[in-house]
Amino acid sequence: MMKHNYFLSLSGLVLFLLAGTLPAQDIVSVTHLGHQSEAELKARFGTPLIEYGIDMYKVLYTTVDVHGLPDTASGLLVVPDDPGKVYPVLCYQHGTAVSKDEVPSNVTGDILPLLWGGLGYVTSAADYLGLGASRGFHPYVHAASEAWAALDMLRAVKAWIAQQDDVHINDQLFLTGYSQGGHASMALHRAIELEHADEFTVTAAAHLSGPYSISGVMRDRILSEAEYLFSGYIPNTVMGYNEVYQLYDSLEQVFKPEYVPWIELYYDGQINLIQLSAALNAQLIASEGATIPRHMLQDTLVAAIQTNPDHPFNLALADNDTHTWPAQAPTRLYYCTADDQVPYLNSIVADSVMNALGAEDLFAYDVSPTSDHGECVSPAIYNAALFFQIYQQIGTVTATTAVEPPALKVWPNPVTDRVFVQGLPESTDLQLFDASGRLCRSWPNRQGGVELPVYDLPKGIYLLHATSAHYRWHKRIVVD
């Protein structure tokens, strides 16, 4: 008898809130994995937009699993290699992992976090739960855990950066991801704006070729009579959701017997997702004459899903739609019409629904109409990079080993209106940074005595830096 979870529609929210109440987001370890130069990255990705080399770090951090139990998860942190710069943060959500170990933290599978680092973003790329260092089976396209794993890594990474002398970030936060990562980045975006707006502010987001409409576009595609060569995605989703929603007692309740042995091998980690799809496709052709994934499923289950909107499977799918909310940050959905894995209608539906709900600045764009899912990666990423450049801010860190001019005076401190500086040497450049390293004001080529207005700045601690031909110094200013 298939289990029915009567609280299914609330389960993602309950688990997400539970995750926020347990000890989480602590760094376990940060391990340097190596360095890649700007030239190496340009050769690897073939784009002149790259301006930095990168350092790569494997991060282990604490979070919770889908049962609310403490777990240690992993991810990749990519840092541009110029320690004199202040960078924005970017959360990258990776595409479908072929196996447990082909993840960003091992610098295998989806390596696009390296590109974003080279473009000038301190990039946090969490491995999803059940992948990398975390235990259990991966809850594939489970929106809530995709979001909280990324959030907990972001919190842990920011705490670690605060203890470093050579990594500097500002308060900008960009979100993006491709394929499953598009679904995950939209889930993260939603979680931040609806649940964590007091902690994070999204500067801009670009969700790329993601299956946002799980219960609509994706469900209809899989239950259709059309061929689909990526049959492994179906049991991957079913088994992943079973980890969260307890949808069945045995695989035979969901799949016809001839397909179950291959699915079990995948669940046990003995074959990868590509091998699973190949085996299932071969069996479908042998049994049905075509690769139509719905024929792997028990006929009674398909009929029940199609006729009962409240069927547990339908509720689980709907619980993981990520497009039924109004994004507030500038947002772009990039897709390709000829996508053979994630139907482009996901982006069209998301654009329509989110704008109808009141999204502030959201548009969907077909970036290459004839490209399939693999070919769509490059134009989607390129357009996202150009979109983010509109907002990206990279500042400069002034050295803290300084020699003051002998006649220098700075007052008052704390200050509410303006700072007076006396005794500046000829041609002194002044810059005011906030506590996160973001450049707030600059006054070039000053000399002697000056007045610096700060009345419109938020209260807090600031650093006033000055450089001239023979002097370099900084002062801590408190705006009260």
- Work out the pLDDT band at 76, boundaries 50, 70, 90: very high
Q: 96-109: per-residue pLDDT in tens? A: 999 999 999 999 99
Q: Lowest mean pLDDT of 158-162, 178-182, 312-316, 352-356, name the range.
A: 158-162
Q: Over the chain, what is the mean pLDDT?
A: 91
pLDDT at residue 154 greater than cutoff 60: yes
pLDDT of 460 reads 81
pLDDT at residue 21 greater than cutoff 50: no
Q: 429-470: per-residue pLDDT in tens? A: 898 877 555 678 889 989 889 999 999 999 887 878 787 877
Q: Lowest mean pLDDT of 70-84, 159-173, 454-468, name the range.
A: 454-468
Choose between 406 and 47: higher pLDDT: 47
Predicted TM-score (pTM) of the model is 0.80
Which 3-state string (H, E, C) describes the chain?
Answer: CCCCCCCHHHHHHHHHHHHHHCCCCCEEEEEEEEEECHHHHHHHHCCCCCCCCEEEEEEEEEEECCCCCEEEEEEEEEEECCCCEEEEEEEEECCCCCCCCCCHHHCCCCCHHHHHHHCCCEEEEECCCCCCCCCCCCCCCCHHHHHHHHHHHHHHHHHHHCCCCCCCEEEEEEEEEECHHHHHHHHHHHHHHHHCCCCCCCCEEEEECCCCCHHHHHHHHHCCCCCCCCCCHHHHHHHHHHHHHCCCCCHHHCECHHHHHHHHHHHCCCCCHHHHHHHHHHHHHHHHCCCCHHHHECHHHHHHHHHCCCCHHHHHHHCCCCCCCCCCCCEEEEECCCCCCCCCHHHHHHHHHHHHCCCCCEEEEECCCCCCCCCCHHHHHHHHHHHHHCCCCCEECCCCCCECCCCCEEECCCECCEEEEEEEEEEEEEEEEECCCCEEEEEEEEEEEEEEECCCCCCEEEEEEEECCCCEEEEEEEEC
pLDDT of 472 reads 65
pLDDT at residue 232 greater than cutoff 70: yes
pLDDT of 13 reads 42
Q: Which of 11-25, 234-248, 448-462 has the highest mean pLDDT?
A: 234-248
